[in-house]
Amino acid sequence: MKHVMEFVTDLHDTGQIAHLPCFTAVTNLTLLPPELPNLLEKFQLELVISIDGPALIHNQLRPLASGEGSFERMFHNVRRIQQITGGRQPEAAEVTYTAKHAQLGISPLDVYNFIQESLRISKVLLTPVETDDPALRVADDMWYESIRQIIQLGYQAYCEGNLVQAHRQLSPWLRGVNPNNAEPWECDLFCTAGMYSFAVDARGDIYPCQKFIGHPQFCMGSVAAGPDVFSSDTFDRVQRKVTPLIRKDYSECLSCPIRTICAACPAQWILASSSLASPIGPWCDLKREFKIHLIALSLKMQEEHPDRWHQLASAETPVVPY
């Protein structure tokens, strides 16, 4: 990780790239290297902890090589990082919600509250698992109904003037329904991975995004190749495979009322079916209904409390595509 950040920083310092990117490390935090605090400071590195929720589910889905659960080790290291950084890191928590959560009676709201209250991490990136495995897949209607519950609690906090809580529960979802937040080139892209962001694994191999890590057919090259990696045939071939996905190529998208604020995950389509077939179907109907609900709610909130809305809308927050 250090080598990758030094490599990219050197490209910037020598004028080979125009802008220094934001560095983000996604980790399960079962290990805490002694040099990590210095890297956080030196490279303005943002740490995102990958977690599954309370110990009951986390230990099932993330056992150590010994077979023991990893929750206690992760929890201990989160606390150490928070002490070292004065609570500034980890920047966020990333959660993949599965059917196993539901089977254990753990709702998305339970996960959300646990991370914010027990781990004291306010930014939660909560998404459903992307798989065709029925043992893990979450029903789309169940997922959206659960997120509606989170949003309703956020709206109640907003009405009561508790903007800190409202921001935690509303902003990741509401920011995604405002077309004014999108750059012109984003309006027809399902995802910008492989164009404006990339993932690098522990070996230095480059992928369009972290979801492709472990699938060698989507490896774009290695940082060891230096700047030439970005002009290599391999880089170009993989990029052309995953980035030409734009909504205007799907006739069903052209007349959709949420076309410019809809996001999707090409990695999900490719890895699940080895195809870039149109994602149109019942999933789109649910997403359209959900987004329209968010638009109506945002307009209602602006009308009821314009000052509060301005504070909420201007606060920095991650965008959740779902």
299 inside domain: yes
Task: Give the percent of the chain with pLDDT over 90.
Answer: 42
In terms of Cα–Cα distance, which of 96, 295, 43, 312 is closest to 210?
96
Verify that 62 and 5 share a domain, yes or no.
Answer: yes
Verify that 17 and 38 share a domain, yes or no.
Answer: yes
List, in order, residues 6 or more apart from 207 with CB less than 8 Å away: 198, 199, 200, 201, 213, 215, 218, 219, 220
Q: Once rounded to an integer, what is the mean pLDDT over residues 105-119? A: 91
Task: Give the percent of the chain with pLDDT over 70.
Answer: 89
Biggest alpha carbon–alpha carbon distance for the chain: 57
Whether the pLDDT of residue 318 is over 80: the answer is no
75 confidence band (pLDDT: 50, 70, 90): very high
Q: What is the pLDDT of residue 261?
A: 79
Of the listed ranges 32-46, 117-131, 251-265, the least confidently predicted one is: 251-265
Verify that 125 and 143 share a domain, yes or no.
Answer: no
Of the listed ranges 27-31, 101-105, 161-165, the least confidently predicted one is: 161-165
Range of the domain at 12: 1-136
Q: Once rounded to an integer, what is the mean pLDDT over residues 128-147? A: 83
262 inside domain: yes
The mean pLDDT of the chain is: 85
DSSP 8-state class, residue 206? E
- Exposed/middle/buried for residue 251 (C-beta within 10 Å: 0-12, 13-18, 19+): exposed
Copy the structure tokens of residue 192.
């910008």
Count other Cβ atoms within 10 Å, centred on residue 159. Answer: 13
The two beta strands, 199-200 and 124-128, are unpaired
The count of structural domains within the chain is 2
207 inside domain: no
Whether the pLDDT of residue 50 is over 60: the answer is yes
Verify that 145 and 130 share a domain, yes or no.
Answer: no
Verify that 157 and 100 share a domain, yes or no.
Answer: no
- Contact by Cβ (8 Å): 185, 200: no
Verify that 121 and 255 share a domain, yes or no.
Answer: no
- Contact by Cβ (8 Å): 256, 288: yes
In terms of Cα–Cα distance, which of 18, 26, 19, 20 is closest to 1?
26
Whether the pLDDT of residue 319 is over 50: the answer is no
Between 176 and 184, whose confidence is greater? 176
Q: What is the pLDDT of residue 114?
A: 94
pLDDT tens digits, one per residue of 268-290: 777 666 665 555 566 788 888 98
93 inside domain: yes
Q: Once rounded to an integer, what is the mean pLDDT over residues 31-35? A: 91
Verify that 153 and 251 share a domain, yes or no.
Answer: yes
Verify that 168 and 299 share a domain, yes or no.
Answer: yes
6 inside domain: yes
- Contact by Cβ (8 Å): 170, 154: yes
Q: What is the pLDDT of residue 279?
A: 57
Verify that 46 and 131 share a domain, yes or no.
Answer: yes
Last residue of a domain, one of 115, 136, 157: 136
- Contact by Cβ (8 Å): 59, 70: yes
Whether the pLDDT of residue 95 is over 90: the answer is yes
Verify that 183 and 283 share a domain, yes or no.
Answer: yes
40 inside domain: yes
Verify that 161 and 268 share a domain, yes or no.
Answer: yes
pLDDT tens digits, one per residue of 222-255: 988 877 888 899 999 998 887 766 777 777 788 8
Q: Once rounded to an integer, what is the mean pLDDT over residues 83-92? A: 93
Whether the pLDDT of residue 51 is over 90: the answer is yes
pLDDT tens digits, one per residue of 285-313: 888 898 899 999 999 999 999 999 888 87
Verify that 290 and 178 share a domain, yes or no.
Answer: yes
List, in order, residues 6 or more apart from 140 with CB less than 8 Å away: 128, 282, 283, 286
64 inside domain: yes
Copy the structure tokens of residue 56.
């009951």
What gap in Å lies between CA 305 and CA 246, rounded to an integer?
A: 36
- Contact by Cβ (8 Å): 40, 19: no
What gap in Å lies between CA 314 and CA 175, rounded to an integer?
A: 9
Q: What CATH number does the domain containing 103 carry?
A: 3.20.20.70
Whether the pLDDT of residue 213 is over 80: the answer is yes
